[in-house]
Amino acid sequence: MDTFAFAVVNGLLYGMLLFMLASGLTLIFSLMGVLNFAHASFFMLGAYFAYQLSSIGNFWMGLVLAPLLVGLLGATVERYGLRVVHRHGHVAELLFTFGLAYLIEELVRLVWGRQPVPYRIPEVLDFPLFSIGGIDYSAYRAFMFAIAVLMFLGLLALLKRTRVGLMVQAALSHPDVLWALGHNVPRLFMLVFGGGVALAGLAGVIGGNYLVTEPGMAHQMGTILFVIVVFGGLGSLLGAFLASILIGILQTLMVAFDGTLTDLVVSLGAAAPQATGPFREIWTITPANLAPVLPYLLLVVLLIVRPRGLLGTRET
Amino acid sequence: MSAPILSLRGLHAFYGLSHVLHGVDLDVGEGEIVALLGRNGVGRSTLCKAVMAIVERQGSIRVRGRETIGLEPHRVARLGLGYVPEERAVFPGLTVEQNLLLGRHGAASARSWQLEEVYELFPSLRRRSDTHAEVLSGGEQQMLSICRALMSGPELMIVDEPTEGLAPLIVEQVGDLLAEIARRGVAILLVEQKLTIAMRIAHRVYVMGHGRTVFEGSPDELRTDEAIRKAWLEV
């Protein structure tokens, strides 16, 4: 039971981390119609920037500066890249972000090397906050959780309470009309793109040392991220939130549990089955083996049953 | 007629790949209501979008003598133009009041309207100020769209098909509202398919056909010119 509770708490945390990326991605998509393939690359840059800054100064410097740098970079990419490519249509935009993802990955390899970098949890937060059934829960995880919640509340307040938020909501339905009413919509797009990838960068800052900071992290995160936004429904923030939490918890739960089909059969009182024939592998697969596949399985099933995703308004 | 607020010369415009306007000349003077009439598909809405710079255009569009062909939409709007798009295009998910507030852009001048003044002009919007715009009736959405454009204190309003799909009684109200706005010194370019309110409130009328203007004159002149009406307006 303790393992279960622990897995749920960890899954929730992982889900929140996923949502920090998914929220920006889905916001950028619903506003600009661009599916940003490089979104997870900005997550990775956040982690590397934070590593670099924490090696010069400290973790807190990275926490503040790294997302800002990533956001600035994102705004520049939008202003001088995407905006130019936009004239040639969505396929060109898609290819642009696709190329950008590879470019960033290669640059990271060039600058920081192929091996993981030693980006560590700050010492002040490296202690067990409480323990359940002998398993420690680190203070850093609680800190990550707090940052994610704060970010979520901040984003909500920004969208619902500020003028920029009003403009974003208006631009979702009629960007041309908003533009013709005298609002600088291209600048709004630049801000949203920069802001969206800055959130991904922030996720990288607090997630990079919790996970591993290495050049493959963007690719790994990127695939699961697309599952989430498609699953939640492209363009739906709430859908992205639900999908993030669901997939976060499911994956963590599956990794947490041992046991195979053989164990199950044995525990039911039957004799251990003979593992022979072409399907013998089935008896020795653990849930952890299946964990990486599960999100895609969910995705495929959902797309067949409900092509809009959980809460999406348009067909994906 | 005094110096025009809006002056189009040899305006060409494109909608996607199609060439819609083929050299339009048109003027709107200070405080004047000018109606632009024509059948569906002659390029009336494209003309509005061309003026607001949201479609590709060539030729000359001057606002108070200033050439706007190279400007972006928000720059054009900030010269004192208020845009009431076709199909109202109120912002769904936002309240009536939030829609109105978005009518006032960053560079809105002393001419810009306060919420109170707009509510006085059209009181039923005040009662519904916290209602989401998309649940309003068609007529109310149209009033909202007009009032939203008014918030920036424009000198000229481009009003695209404000009576489309509205009941006759509401059409009358829209006409009254536009006439009242014009009385306060705002010029109006009114784009319509039907003649009803255009003939009632316009000072001058243009008729469009095949991407060009084919008639210019007073409403009375159009009334008597049966040939033009037959060729370009009546179905």
Q: Contact B73/A169, CB-based, under 8 Å?
A: no
- A248 contacts A11 by C-beta, under 8 angstroms: yes
Q: Give the mean model confidence (pLDDT) for residues B4-21.
A: 90
Q: Which residue does chain A place closest to B134, by CA atoms?
A: A173
Q: In total, how many domains does chain A have? A: 1
Residue B199 within any structural domain of the chain: yes
**DSSP calls for B68-115:** -TT--HHHHHTTTEEEE-TT----TTSBHHHHHHTTS-TT--TTPPPH
Whole-angstrom distance, CA of residue B97 vs CA of residue B74: 21
Asked whether residue A283 is domain-assigned, the answer is: no
**Is position B60 within any domain?**
yes
Residue B121 located in a structural domain:
no
What ipTM describes this predicted complex?
A: 0.93
Give the start-end residues of each E strand in chain A: 128-132, 135-138
Q: Specify if A293 maps to a domain.
A: no
Q: Indicate whether B123 belongs to any domain.
A: no
Asked if B12 and B23 count as a contact pair (C-beta separation under 8 A), the reply is: yes
Please give the residue range of the domain that contains residue A209: 2-258
Cβ within 8 Å, pair B72-A174: no
- The reply to whether A83 touches chain B by the CB within 8 Å rule is no
pLDDT of residue B27: 94
Chain A residue numbers with beta carbons less than 8 Å from the beta carbon of B152 are: 181-182
* pLDDT for residue A1 is more than 70: no
**Residue range A112-137: mean pLDDT, rounded:** 84
Quickly state the pLDDT bin for B113 (edges 50, 70, 90).
Answer: confident
Chain B interface includes A167 (CB < 8 A): yes
- What is the predicted pLDDT for the residue at A275? 66
Cβ of A180 and B76 within 8 Å? yes
User: Any CB–CB contact under 8 A between A58 and chain B?
Assistant: no
- Give the model confidence (pLDDT) of B147-202 as tens digits: 999 999 999 999 999 988 899 999 999 999 999 999 999 999 999 888 888 888 99
> Are the CB atoms for A22 and A203 separated by under 8 Å?
no
**Are the beta carbons of B105 and A186 separated by less than 8 Å?**
no
How far is Cα B44 from Cα B22, in angstroms, rounded to an integer?
A: 12
Query: How many whole angstroms separate alpha carbon A77 and alpha carbon A41?
Result: 13
- The CATH number of residue A106's host domain is 1.10.3470
Q: Which of B58, B52, B63 is nearest to B24 (CA)?
A: B58
Sign for the CA dihedral angle at A231, A233, A234, A239 comes to: negative
Q: Render pLDDT for A282-308 as a digit per residue (tens, 0 to 9).
A: 777 777 777 778 888 888 888 888 877
What spatial distance separates the first Cα and last Cα of chain A, rounded to whole Å?
A: 39
A173 chain-B contacts, CB cut-off 8 A:
89, 91-93
Say yes or no for a CB contact (<8 Å) between B92 and A176.
no
Structural domains of chain B, count: 1
Strands B6-15 and B56-63: antiparallel
Q: What pLDDT does B108 receive?
A: 65
Least confident of A9-18, A232-241, B157-166: A232-241
pLDDT tens sequence across A41-64:
999 999 999 999 999 999 999 999
Residue A315 located in a structural domain:
no
What is the bridge-based pairing of β-strands A135-138 and A128-132?
Answer: antiparallel
Residues from chain A contacting residue B107 (CB–CB below 8 Å) = 182
pLDDT at position A316: 41
Supply angle C-alpha A24, A27, A33, rounded to 5. 120
d(CA A240, CA A29): 12
Strand positions, DSSP E, chain B: 6-15, 18-28, 33-37, 56-63, 66-67, 81-84, 156-160, 187-192, 204-209, 212-217
Query: What is the mean predicted confidence (pLDDT) over A15-26?
Result: 93
Whether residues B89 and A177 touch (CB distance < 8 A) is answered with yes
Query: Does A177 sit within 8 Å of B85, measured CB to CB?
Result: yes
The CATH number that applies at residue B188 is: 3.40.50.300
DSSP A264-308: HHHHTTPPPPP--STTGGGGG--HHHHTTTHHHHHHHHHHHH-TT
CB A212 within 8 A of CB A116: yes
Q: Distance of CA A169 to CAs A158, A166, A173, B94, B98, Å?
A: 11, 5, 7, 8, 10
Q: CB–CB of A166 and B101 under 8 A?
A: yes
> What CA–CA distance (Å, rounded) separates A200 from A21?
5
pLDDT at B137 over 80: yes
Q: Are B192 and B163 in contact (CB under 8 A)?
A: yes
Domain presence at residue A171: yes
Using alpha carbons only, give the angle A103, A105, A109 rounded to the nearest 5 degrees. Answer: 115
Q: Does A176 touch chain B (CB under 8 A)?
A: yes
Q: Which residues 122-141 on chain B approach chain A with CB closer than 8 angstroms? A: none
- Crossing angle between the packed helical segments A185-208 and A163-173, to the nearest 10 degrees: 110
Q: Please give the residue of chain A at the shortest CA–CA distance from B80.
A: A182
On whether residue A77 sits in a domain, the answer given is yes
Query: Is residue A221 a part of any domain in this protein?
Result: yes
- Which among A170, A174, A182 has the least Cβ separation from residue B77? A182
Which chain B residues in 167-186 lie under 8 Å from chain A, judged by CB atoms? Answer: none
- Check residues B211 and A270 and name the one with the higher pLDDT: B211
Please list every residue in chain A whose beta carbon sits closer than 8 Å to the beta carbon of residue B108: 182
For residue B52, which of A228, A170, A180 has the smallest C-alpha distance?
Answer: A180
- Residue B117: alpha-carbon gap to chain centroid: 20
Q: Would you call B111 an interface residue with chain A, using a CB distance cutoff of 8 Å?
A: no
pLDDT in the model for residue B2: 59
Q: What residues of B are in contact with residue A185 (Cβ under 8 Å)?
A: 73-74
Contact of A247 with A18, CB cutoff 8 Å: yes
Domain that holds residue B18: 6-87+157-233
Residue A182 — pLDDT band, cuts 50, 70, 90? very high
The reply to whether B108 touches chain A by the CB within 8 Å rule is yes
pLDDT at B112: 83
Contact indicator for B23, B212 with CB cutoff of 8 Å: yes
Mean pLDDT of chain A: 88
Residue A183 forms contact with B (CB below 8 Å): yes
Angle at A242 between CA A236 and CA A244, to 5 degrees: 100
**Assigned domain for A145 exists:** yes
Q: Do residues B31 and B187 touch, judged by C-beta distance below 8 A?
A: yes
Does residue A162 belong to the interface with chain B, where contact is any CB pair within 8 Å? no
From the list A170, A173, A184, which residue is nearest B74 (CB)? A184
Q: Do A174 and B74 touch (CB under 8 A)?
A: no
Report the candidate in B107, B196, B104, B90 with the shortest Cα–Cα distance to residue B144.
B90
Torsion from C-alpha of A296, A302, A305, A306, nearest 10 degrees? -140
Domain contains A115? yes
Shortest CB distance from A180 goes to which of B73, B94, B99? Answer: B73
**pLDDT single digits (tens) A189-212:** 999 999 999 999 999 999 999 889
pLDDT at residue A315 tops 50 = no
pLDDT level of residue B98 (50, 70, 90 thresholds): very high
| Residue A263 pLDDT | 74
What is the three-class DSSP state of A38? coil
Lowest mean pLDDT among A121-125, B173-177, B205-209: A121-125
Contact A181 B83 (CB under 8 A): yes
Tokens of A20: 């920090």
Nearest beta carbon to residue B103 from set A179, A181, A184: A181
> Which residues in chain A have their CB less than 8 angstroms from residue B15's CB?
none
Q: Average pLDDT, whole number, for chain B?
A: 89
B49-53, B95-99, B104-108, B217-221: segment of lowest average pLDDT: B104-108
Taking 50 as the threshold, does the pLDDT of residue A265 lie above it?
yes
